[in-house]
């Protein structure tokens, strides 16, 4: 089982070790960070995060509840109180040997619970590069639906990457989680 805990400056070193090549960093963060990741580059990322009184972005480390080992990173940002919407970004299962064990699903499901239960959101979206089939499958298993394709949105090397837009609505999430009472 995965539990989410606030990502803090104490977690910077672990994340910098995981994001160990430029392509992975671009897949994980788009153009938000410069390679290599640095403490200075991450400091602004966490400023003002995880504030329930002024929810704009929530940044988490994913912890395996059985071993207490940090296994991933995920954030929920772009939060609009007016529209009751947010966007999942920067999803990363840290150790490549841990992938395909359900960690990503655990992280996403835990974040959806926070978004729909705690933050009372109506819609949560995300973008995933069209070549990232394991992530796409993970998001589909969590209840997301593909909503569109943004072609050639990121240039990498001599080519371009296209982005699949996905989303899940509160009612769809509740249908998949009937034990969770509606607000």
Instruction: Inform me whether the pLDDT recorded for 98 exceeds 70.
Output: no
Q: What is the CATH number of domain 2-176?
A: 3.40.630.30
Write out pLDDT tens, residues 12-63.
Answer: 999 999 999 999 999 999 888 989 999 998 999 999 899 878 779 999 999 9
Instruction: Inform me whether the pLDDT recorded for 96 exceeds 70.
Output: no
pTM of the model: 0.94
Residue range 91-98: mean pLDDT, rounded: 80
For residue 183, name the pLDDT band (cuts at 50, 70, 90).
Answer: low
Residue tagged 């607000």 (tokens)? 183
């Amino acid at each position: 089982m995965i539990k989410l805990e606030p990502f803090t400056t104490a977690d910077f070193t672990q994340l910098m070790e995981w994001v160990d090549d430029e392509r992975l960093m671009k897949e994980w963060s788009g153009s938000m960070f410069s390679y290599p990741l640095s403490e200075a580059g991450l400091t602004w990322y966490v400023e003002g995060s995880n504030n329930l009184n002024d929810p704009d972005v929530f940044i988490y480390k994913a912890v395996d509840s059985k071993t207490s080992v940090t296994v991933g990173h995920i954030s929920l940002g772009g939060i609009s109180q007016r529209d009751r919407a947010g966007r999942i970004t920067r999803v990363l299962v840290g150790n490549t040997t841990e992938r395909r064990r359900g960690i990503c699903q655990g992280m996403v499901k835990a974040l959806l619970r926070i978004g729909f239960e705690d933050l009372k959101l109506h819609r949560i979206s995300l973008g995933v590069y069209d070549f990232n089939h394991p992530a796409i499958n993970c998001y589909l298993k969590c209840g997301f639906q593909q909503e569109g394709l943004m072609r050639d949105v990121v240039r990498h090397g001599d080519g371009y990457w296209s982005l699949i837009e996905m989303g899940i609505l509160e009612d769809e999430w509740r249908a998949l989680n009937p034990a969770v009472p509606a607000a």
